[in-house]
Structure 1
Amino acid sequence: MKKIVFITPSLRGGGAERVVVHLLRHMNRDNIKLGLIALKLEGPYVSHLPDDAEIVDLGTRRVRHSIGKLIKELNRMQPDVVVSTLGHLNVALLALRPFLKNKPKIVLREANAPSFAMRKGKGGVKLYRTLYRMFYPKADRVIALSRGMADDLLSFSRMPKDKISIIHNPVVTEEIKRQADEPLDHPWLREKGAGRELPVCISVGRLVEQKNYDMLLRSFAKAVRQTPARLIILGEGPKREHLTALIKELGLEDKVELAGFTGNPYAYMARADLFVMSSSFEGMPNVLLEALAVGLPAVATDCIGVPDVLDDGRYGTMIPVGAEDALAEAIVNALREQTEGIGDRQRERAKQFHIEKIAGEYRQLLTSV
């Protein structure tokens, strides 16, 4: 019996936390026992945790306040494999390794391409690069979510190539379909196809710099001069006030809605006409996978992870990161050229990222490391 323990800061709703919960729920239990340590056990995914996993709440919020408790719990649980899920936590765990009594294997899951994700970190890229190069080669394995992330990780950390494994993020297709079929009363989304007043684009993600919604709004303003449409952005974050002002400045008040966070974005996505992603960087964009799972055509910036999802452009239009005019043109073309049968084609592509397949890949790695 092999004991595998995941460590995550919280279950507040980020993509990395959601993936951990999905893995805990779907990984085959034959000859393994699963556990979770959360720095702070809070967030919407707590209620989704499986009953047969050992759950530990350290009751802290910051990595530096968790060191003693983390060592104590890991030494009590004595796992064979520890899986850490986010950059700062990953480095801390590797630094603590000499204090872990049963010498577990340490597997890191990188949530974003580090050279991009660390740019705004305190101390800058140089400090984090030093820490990565000091500690990451000590990991037994590092999971990258895409080809681009693996390349970035190799360059950033200078760790051995044979220690990096690529495992894509999962999509829970059946769960998405169930939520997509739930009722939704939104005036822009009541009809679809010929009966709809205007086509609706949708984008989903936190209102933060990384998602580059400024560019999306400017591109959308150019697009609607050629093809009338509406845009719904699902998500909450610190840029709401700024984006609200930009919507007004661009004269888009009757065409764009910042709809906030919703626990069920799939009901919106399934009723929209086009998914648009404008991110400056990603690791493996879950929401793009989910757009395919509900059958949406997609336009996305070609940041890390997107070529893996869209198969280098076969399942959606990719435009250069930051290319405002190209994004506007891609939105116009996608709205004008809706292809018959595209929904089935997109859903078929999403099956390549089914949770059962991805959970099997994690199980294989974690039981053999």
Structure 2
Amino acid sequence: MKKISVIFILPDLETGGAERIVTTIANHLSRDRFEPKILLLRKEGGYLSFLKNDVEIIDVNRERIRHSLKPILREIYRRKPDIVFSGFGEVNAYLSLFIKLFPKTKFIARETNVVTQHVTRKEIKFFYNFYNNYQRIIAQSDDMKKDLINNFNIRQSKIVKINNPVDFDFIESKLAASTKPESFKYNYKNVVAIGNLSARKGFDNLLKVFSRLKNENIILHILGDGKDREILHQMKDFLDLKQVIFHGRQENPYQFLKYADLFILSSRYEGFPNVLLEAGACGTYSLANNCPGGINEIIQDKTNGEISDIENHEDFAQKIMNILHYSYDKDAIKNSIKSRFSKNIILDMYEKVLLDLMKK
């Protein structure tokens, strides 16, 4: 039987959510049925080392997405894949205009955000008028699916909801090698937040919340880097938050999650937050801001976490205090994630989408 050739398209393989998902799918597709390749705008990023040797990398060597369209289309024309799987919002948008040039190839877009929350450039929103050209669109959450249907008139029959997978084997291997961070002080509660230091992640609100907890034995550890780093550092100093530590980007964030008393997701909006899944996979209880992007699909109230409105700084601070007075069943937290989002469950869904598409 002829194998189904699939080309996945991404800007690069930096260590982000979309990159991790596509790497996981490409690595685990059945080699009896599929022949996966990954087309990158730039051959760089931490996930390159995790990619299996039999996954061919096509490098078009372009910095900007709009400048990469011609070489992407050239590669699709030359290689004639059965399926093109675009895994990044802006690439999806531009590519949608050209799908009809390739009537023998099936096109799938995996949307990465709630579009109306994330996309502000009018030129990108214009391309969503052509999204119905895709044979399938994968939404990570109900919020994302509703947004595409209600605001962009995408046909419901084209959209498949598939949540993000958690690679428990990978996380368990990281946890096994993890020791308690030196910055975790004895007799203090250690709270962890992880994400890009940008407005979207809401760390400004989190610092305001912690300004109400200055007299408590609680340390906030923020992992990540980004364009708002200086602003957030200045804000920390202005609020005199001596018990807030910025750790920058960490090679092994699971070390922090393993020993954390609480994980906080402060985002203003999300796609489907991998870090919330990973906190649960580490057995860590979570408190998440009530924002769009599948939060309520992950959090099972009082089992693996709780949801609250971070804009109400006083209430959110009190919620942190209440949670830290209790201990939670780490195995129950892990199982709440594993039973719904384990790699095998989610990858079976992706494989089914690819196979079903080839029957049409």
Matched, 1:292 2:280: yes
The residue correspondences of 1:1-369 to structure 2 (distance < 5 A) are 1-100=3-102, 103-119=104-120, 121=121, 123=122, 127-132=123-128, 134-184=129-179, 186-189=181-184, 196-225=186-215, 227-253=216-242, 255-303=243-291, 304-311=293-300, 314-320=303-309, 322-339=311-328, 342-351=329-338, 352-369=340-357
Separation in structure 1 between the aligned mates of residue 300 and residue 85 of structure 2, nearest angstrom: 28
> Is the partner of 1:24 in helix, strand or coil?
helix
Q: Which moved more, 1:84-93 or 1:281-290?
A: 84-93
8 Å CA contact 2:303–2:332 kept in 1: the answer is no
Alpha-carbon shift at residue 65 of structure 1 (Å): 1.2
Q: SS in structure 2 opposite 1:222?
A: coil
Change (3 A) 1:115 1:160: same
- The code of the aligned residue for 2:160 comes to S
SS in 1 for 2:46: coil
Structure-1-length-normalised TM-score: 0.92
* Matched residue SS, 1:13: coil
Aligned equivalents of 1:151 and 1:297: distance in 2?
Answer: 28
Amino acid of the residue matched to residue 145 of structure 1? Q
Following the alignment from structure 1 to structure 2, what is the Cα–Cα distance between the partners of residues 183 and 136? Answer: 44
Percent of residue pairs bearing the same amino acid type: 32
Equivalents in 2 of 1:141, 1:24: separation in Å? 18
Contact persistence 1:203–1:275 (CA under 8 A): yes
Query: Aligned to 2:246, what secondary structure does the other structure show?
Result: strand
Distance in 1 of aligned mates of 2:302 and 2:107: 35
The 2-side partners of 1:84 and 1:36 are apart by 10
Alignment check: 8 A CA contact 1:181 1:267 kept: no
- Deviation string 1:93-150 (CA, Å, 9 cap, x unpaired) is 12122333x631111000110001113x3x4xxx444321x21111111100011111
State the shift of 1:263 in Å.
Answer: 1.7
TM-score (norm 2): 0.94
Question: Which stretch shifts more, 308-317 or 294-303?
Answer: 308-317
Aligned to 1:193: none
Whether contact under 8 Å (1:118, 1:128) holds in the other structure is yes
SS in 2 for 1:66: helix
Structure 1 gap ranges (5+) = 191-195
Alignment length (residue pairs): 353
Distance in 2, matches of 1:311 and 1:79, equals 41
Deviating 4+ runs (over 3 angstroms): 127-130, 311-314
Gaps of 5+ in 2: none
